[in-house]
Structure 1
């Protein structure tokens, strides 16, 4: 009798172990925890610094009685654009507000920056119409500050945020131009506050609940400016009415990093 009881207990124990093993094998794996994005919603402000790449240019356009006295070939040579490139330091401040919808972040941001931009160029070459005549052309563009007002659309994951951005650009721009050769001389300049547009993108990484770091690139394009170039003839060219207009194109690339505090 005791032997039968022991055998029954052994069989029951074995069956229970097998049943538990089957349940463990058939149980679904635990679900992984959902990825939680950091909280980016709210007001923020920060400082930024980096490099500005200036690619501005000036193109003259001749009119009036020039073609009455001179060839189309000489006119074409005068109207070749002059452009250059320069890289300068830029630094500024920014601020804005973000709205967050799960992992989607929408925001508005404004900034103002210092960037002492200058491009200059000199062209000295024989005239295509008359190789005995030397054509000299000098140009320059400048500006020392700019700002933007932009919308931002981003995706947040873990502690990071990547975003695209674009909007309005503003800043001071200026240009000057001189051209001369064989008794013909033109000179003029233009300066003022200009408007344009900007587009770019970047990424941010949150260090804690308040501080984050960012890297960003913006392309900035201001409206082209047209300005009159004064004709200053020298003898014997004192009577022809020549008209020249300078058109300046202002383009800027900005690569910068920033440190942000969220309130």
Structure 2
């Protein structure tokens, strides 16, 4: 039975490819800056998240090294604090290097790498909008347990920070630019299949 699964001693448990689904909660804070200090502000956006993750592990003794990537829906959509502007960043990607220590079929790991999203801004008064990829960094840690030969469950924490380039939009007679700094904390759990 799955509940009785135990990894044999001195056996490579974690090497190989995996793919999984994950869900949890994201606590997000956004700073915004129009025209390089002309107007600034901030807002918070806390939402449930859902996504998928995938990657590859290599095990050497008790140490596990891996590549771990995910794409997530984070549902950032704000217009209350921005006047005629509406800001969106629905997608969050995390591409990370992972280092862990395995105790039988339980893996404790830390991970860090690149965080990415697509910022979009729209002036609802003029209909003008702009969007662009933005990149930053992410760090975190977690624990994963194999409850059968091919299936595992994990819970993890991740911090991310992403700063946008200038997004340009037409505001009345001229054009303005806005920059965003997105910072967040994620707590999520997932289930994966290992090939």
CA contact (8 A) 2:12 2:59 kept: no
Of 148, 167, 171, 1:227 maps to 167
Of 217, 220, 244, 2:157 maps to 217
Compute the TM-score of the two structures, normalised by the length of structure 2.
0.80
* Partner SS state of residue 56, structure 1: strand
2:177 corresponds to: 245
Cα distance in 1 for partners of 2:28, 2:79 equals 11
Aligned-residue offset at 1:36: 5.6
1:158 corresponds to: 104
More helix by share: 1
Unaligned runs of at least 5 residues, structure 2: 1-8
Unaligned runs of at least 5 residues, structure 1: 1-34, 63-75, 124-136, 179-184, 234-241
Cα distance in 2 for partners of 1:102, 1:248 equals 44
Of 175, 194, 200, 2:121 maps to 175
More strand by share: 2
- Which structure has the bigger radius of gyration? 1
Aligned-residue offset at 1:231: 5.3
Aligned-residue offset at 1:162: 1.0
2:33 corresponds to: 59
1:21 corresponds to: none
| 1:95 equivalenced with 2:54 (yes/no) | yes
1:114 corresponds to: 73
Of 241, 254, 261, 2:186 maps to 254
How many equivalent residue pairs?
187
Aligned-residue offset at 1:175: 3.0
* Structure 1 residues 226 and 261, CA gap change in structure 2 (3 angstroms): same
Cα distance in 2 for partners of 1:247, 1:188 equals 16
2:6 corresponds to: none
Aligned-residue offset at 1:222: 2.2
Q: What is the CA RMSD across the aligned residues, in angstroms?
A: 2.9
